A = this chain, B = another copy of it.
């Protein structure tokens, strides 16, 4: 793998980092492969070595690369990636060709965890949490009709689930919210035929909201479970 097929670079070390990260996330280097040298990258994108170093430092902190003086830069395997780093979410968002293995892993996690999260939320939610949930849900309803609002709809979807994680009032669970965006965005780009499915999805979300509002723990758990089953269908994981 060389740099030749990457899109051009228009400015900012941050941008360069995203560019390289997305190439890595798309699997354009194999784990264990040698990553290009600093000077080659700098020359190729016509940026200073400094920007390259900053970008590579960022990728290293996300667990994508491993650098050692004298030897060079190696690509790490997927198991070492820091999937819960918010930067990763940013990079994965809007990336069309995410490794399906990754989407499934994130989904499997949500499937096992999110019912419990909803249950915890039903225990711990405060009025402000309910407000966030309601606002997000209203947004989902409002944007459900038109197909060219589906990007906006997905944002409200993310906000709804994120509000659930936040409502646990646990610092660790709250961090997990970062995983939601890539997972839900994969949904948007992955499924074409959304006719009818949205109504179903909406009603399932409504049940989660109602259960949390009623502080009904087991109802929240099973409702979240149902939402995730719907998601699985839309992701094509089950039929």
What is the interface of chain A, defined by CB distance below 8 A to chain B? 54, 57-58, 61, 63, 78-79, 81-87, 102, 105-106, 108-109, 112-113, 116, 120, 170-175, 179
Task: Tell whether, in the assembled complex, residue A112 and residue B116 are in contact, meaning their CB atoms are under 8 Å apart.
Answer: yes
Each complex incorporates copies of this chain amounting to 2
Inter-chain CA distance A112–B170, complex, in Å, is 11
How would you classify the secondary structure of chain A's contact residues: helix, strand, loop or mixed? Answer: helix
Q: Which 6 pairs of residues, A with B, have the shortest CB-CB distance? A: A109-B172, A105-B171, A61-B61, A84-B84, A108-B170, A84-B175
Q: Which residue of B lies closest to A168 (CB)?
A: B112
Task: Tell whether, in the assembled complex, residue A105 and residue B170 are in contact, meaning their CB atoms are under 8 Å apart.
Answer: yes
Given A105-B172, A106-B172, A108-B170, does the pair A85, B85 have CB atoms closer than 8 Å? yes
Shortest distance in angstroms between A170's beta carbon and chain B's nearest beta carbon?
6
Q: In the complex, what residues of B have CB within 8 A of residue A84's CB?
A: 82, 84-85, 172, 175
Out of B86, B102, B172, which one reaches A171, CB within 8 Å?
A: B102
Task: Tell whether, in the assembled complex, residue B83 and residue A171 are in contact, meaning their CB atoms are under 8 Å apart.
Answer: yes
Shortest distance in angstroms between A66's beta carbon and chain B's nearest beta carbon?
13
Task: Tell whether, in the assembled complex, residue A120 and residue B116 are in contact, meaning their CB atoms are under 8 Å apart.
Answer: no
Given A112-B116, A116-B112, does the pair A78, B171 have CB atoms closer than 8 Å? yes
Task: Tell whether, in the assembled complex, residue A109 and residue B61 are in contact, meaning their CB atoms are under 8 Å apart.
Answer: no
Inter-chain CA distance A109–B63, complex, in Å, is 24
Q: In the complex, what residues of B have CB within 8 A of residue A82's CB?
A: 84-86, 175
